Amino acid sequence: SPACYTHKTFNPQNSSSFREVGSPITIFYGSGIIQGFLGSDTVRIGNLVSPEQSFGLSLEEYGFDSLPFDGILGLAFPPMGIEDTIPIFDNLWSHGAFSEPVFAFYLNTNKPEGSVVMFGGVDHRYYKGELNWIPVSQTSHWQISMNNISMNGTVTACSCGCEALLDTGTSLIYGPTKLVTNIHKLMNARLENSEYVVSCDAVKTLPPVIFNINGIDYPLRPQAYIIKIQNNCRSV
């Protein structure tokens, strides 16, 4: 696969503890496909060690050639695992790798510092105030119940409540076409090639998109939902 020439790779022949398990796999993502097979080996992330960890090895990839990351770390619940494989977080927890069954993300667009994933707790240096805990409505994806979505005090989507998935594996926010259109009408965005385009100056004046979850407002500011690609700005 061409993607193998632009990313770091793992050669199972160089590992004495690797073993092949299961049958060939195909995984479909929102923007790509991988084909390969399942294997098991000792996996290390920082100072955490996950023994006999099952994972997919990609032989063919479509849609990932130009992306900077080398792989995808699955952190959904065990029912989402391929062929009953145990996700790495659950495997680490079962082996006593940390004292709290918690993982957290800090997302930062500043390249020198970058973003952070934390296992076993939360680093209080990365936030201010109190953390809000939201019940999971279904234990497969990280699925929650949302009250509504609003802009400028007007509910624009999810007016009667809806279900939502928290997904760090995609760079976009997806939703039903009609509701997404309602939101972009308030931005004066125009649809071009399946993407919503706005004036780059609009980032200074557009209101936040507010997600009300469990009675608490979570504002997404235009600096977070508008990105510049070449000379155009798009809502994501």
Average pLDDT of the chain to the nearest whole number: 92
CATH of domain 132-235: 2.40.70.10
Per-domain boundaries in the chain: 2-98, 132-235
pLDDT of residue 150: 96
CA-closest candidate to residue 85, choices 28, 142, 48, 41:
41
Asked if residue 82 has pLDDT above 80, the reply is yes
**170-189 pLDDT per residue, tens:** 878 999 999 999 999 999 99
For residues 93-98, average pLDDT: 95
pLDDT at position 229: 85
Q: Which segment, 23-32, 77-86, 129-138, is predicted with the most confidence on average?
A: 129-138
Same CATH topology for 2-98 and 132-235: the answer is yes
Q: What is the mean pLDDT of residues 2-19?
A: 92
Q: What is the pLDDT of residue 194?
A: 87
Q: How confident is the model at residue 1 (pLDDT cuts 50, 70, 90)?
A: confident
Fold of 2-98: Cathepsin D, subunit A; domain 1 (2.40.70)
| pLDDT at site 163 | 97
Proportion of the chain above pLDDT 70, given as a percent: 100
Region 17-27: what's the mean pLDDT? Answer: 91
Is residue 118's pLDDT more than 90?
Answer: yes
pLDDT digits (tens, 9 = 90+) for 40-65: 999 999 999 999 999 999 999 888 88
